[in-house]
Amino acid sequence: MTIKQELLNRLNQRTARVGVVGLGYVGLPLAVEFAEAGFTVIGVDVSAPKVEQLNQGESYILDVPTERLAPLVKSGKLSASTDYSVLRQADTVSICVPTPLRKTKDPDMSYVIESVEAVSAVAHEGMLIILESTTYPGTTEEIIIPRLKNRGFTLGEDIFVAFSPERVDPSNPQYGVRNTPKVVGGVTPACTEVSGVLYRTAVDQVLEVSSPTAAEMVKLLENTFRAVNIGLVNEMALMCDKLGVDVWEVIRGAATKPFGFMPFYPGPGLGGHCIPIDPLYLSWKLKALNYNARFIELASEINTSMPLYVVNKVSLALNDDSKSIKGSKIVVLGVAYKRDVNDVRESPALDVIGLLQERGADVVYHDPYIEQVRLEAGEIMRSVDYSDTLLETADCVVIVTDHSVFDWQHVLDHSRLVVDTRHATYPRAGRARVVPL
């Protein structure tokens, strides 16, 4: 029996031991899904507190309730360690570690390299290694394969390697691991086959593509599509402003087209740890190939200019009240990077607050999901309590994140001036003068 067949048998009989490296918002849901599919799952994370909490059956990820995690830990189906050597007994390893940007906007591959080196060191004959982290095309070929070849393995015969982009959308009530289709691309057809069999145990729909590079590009197309379309609609907002046209009305109109159109909405900028970052992994790689990814660069330029555009809107709005930003009391409502999440990574709100402060404004924020933020300049700012007085004493209220919990009528009835960057107060009217983005 070939090594591949032995692995396939273990996968089909659920006797394979499944490893997951990186137990965050991607790795933990994946580990739980594999454990519920019947595998014994071994998790590895560098965070001892996370490992300890998981081994006590306590979840630290909103999308994985403790009631779901605890029985798997209790039954021994799922356990975790900070020590990579536990993966010596794993038949498969899915690597789900962060791929952020450095301050220089270049990819920070340190987490991927560190985990791949650790996994390669404990890799054994018959192991399947899959990288899930969003990264530039060529990563699997350039970072994983050489390290395994150096250990004498033959890809597709005694070791199997694939890329399969993670598609976890935190706090998405509709889509989770099992019902979000998964793309897998193996280094050889045998690698694609075994990774497809593994993922079909945890995901209803698996699409096999011809290479890890194709699979890496699938993810980048998905998120570049969003970044570029958000950049387009932000530029539409700038153009509509020049034309004296309500961009939100224009989008409402365009969205009636039942085919060939997908609405995106203008906003104060592009936040989150995916959309602003993933396309820059692609443009970075293409620069090395002497190609300038113009759409990505232009979208990034427009999206990163939105915070300043918002601050200029505030300045003009205060000016109409014969006030300057300097010395004005400004309340920012919502600092999370998007509605109803408790994450401020890359949030444009931080840029808006910094720019207002640079112009001498007295800025406070209220966000029920975000207790405190660290601003670019290093200052720690805490969310102030929401109250009638907070609004009534503000020279301007700026809606940056339109959390569903906000009572927009109350905001309109107690504010004098509102700059609404999310069209959140539409179509209500109240005491406040509302300036749309």
Query: How far apart are CB 316 and ligand SAJ at their closest, in Å?
Result: 21
- Number of Cα atoms under 13 Å in the Cβ half of residue 383: 17
In the complex with ligand SAJ, which residue's Cβ is closer, 81 or 304?
304
Cis-peptide into 436, omega within 30 deg: no
Does 168 contact ligand SAJ by CB under 6 A? yes
Considering the complex, state which of residue 84 and residue 408 has its C-beta at the smaller distance from ligand SAJ: 408
When the beta carbons of 87 and 373 are compared against ligand SAJ, the nearer one is 373
CA distance 20 to 92: 8
Two structure tokens written together for 83: 């020590």
Task: Verify binding: residue 28, ligand SAJ, rule CB under 6 A.
Answer: no
What is the C-alpha to C-alpha distance for residues 164 and 134, in angstroms, rounded to an integer?
Answer: 9
In the complex, least distance from residue 350 CB atom to ligand SAJ, rounded to whole angstroms = 12
Q: 299 by DSSP, 3-state: which? A: helix
Residue with tokens 């998405």: 172
User: Is position 167 an interface residue for ligand SAJ (rule: CB under 6 A)?
Assistant: yes
Q: Binding residues for ligand SAJ, how many (CB under 6 A)?
A: 17
One-letter-per-residue 3-state SS of 10-68: HHHCCCCEEEEECCCCCHHHHHHHHHHCCCEEEEECCCHHHHHHHHCCCCCCCCCCHHH
Please pick, from the candidates 264, 284, 295, 369, the single residue that binds ligand SAJ as defined by CB under 6 A. 264
Does 338 interact with ligand SAJ (rule: CB under 6 A)? yes
Residue selected from 194, 274, 277, 394 as contacting ligand SAJ according to rule CB under 6 A: 274
Please give the DSSP secondary-structure letter assigned to residue 402. -
Does 336 contact ligand SAJ by CB under 6 A?
Answer: no
Residues in contact with 320: Cβ distance below 8 Å, sequence separation at least 6, in sequence order: none
Task: Kindly write out the interface string for residues 370-409 of this chain, putting x where it contacts ligand SAJ by CB under 6 A and - elsewhere.
Answer: ----------------------------------------
Residues 169-188 as x/- pattern, contact with ligand SAJ by CB under 6 A: x-------------------
267 binds ligand SAJ (CB under 6 A): yes
> How far is the C-alpha of 298 from the C-alpha of 291, rounded, in Å?
14
Residue whose CB is less far from ligand SAJ, 212 or 271? 271
Please tell me whether residue 141 binds ligand SAJ under the rule CB under 6 A. no
Catalytic residue among 96, 191, 240, 274: 274
Q: Does 265 bind ligand SAJ (CB under 6 A)?
A: yes
Beta-bridged to residue 434, according to DSSP, are: 418
Smallest gap from residue 73 Cβ to ligand SAJ (A): 26
Q: Residue 183 CB: number of other CB atoms within 10 A?
A: 21
Q: Binding of ligand SAJ at residue 337 (CB under 6 A)?
A: yes
What are the phi and psi torsion angles at 357 (to 5°)? -65, -40
- Read off the DSSP letter of residue 255: T
What letters, b where the CB count within 10 A reaches 16 and e where it falls short, cover 94-113? Answer: bbbbebebeeeeebebebbe
> Nearest-CB residue to ligand SAJ?
272
415: Cα separation from own chain's centroid: 33
Say whether 274 is catalytic.
yes
Residues 209-248, interacting with ligand SAJ (CB under 6 A): 222-223, 226, 230
Binding residues for ligand SAJ, rule: CB under 6 A, are 167-169, 222-223, 226, 230, 264-265, 267, 270-272, 274-275, 337-338
**Residues recognised as catalytic:** 274
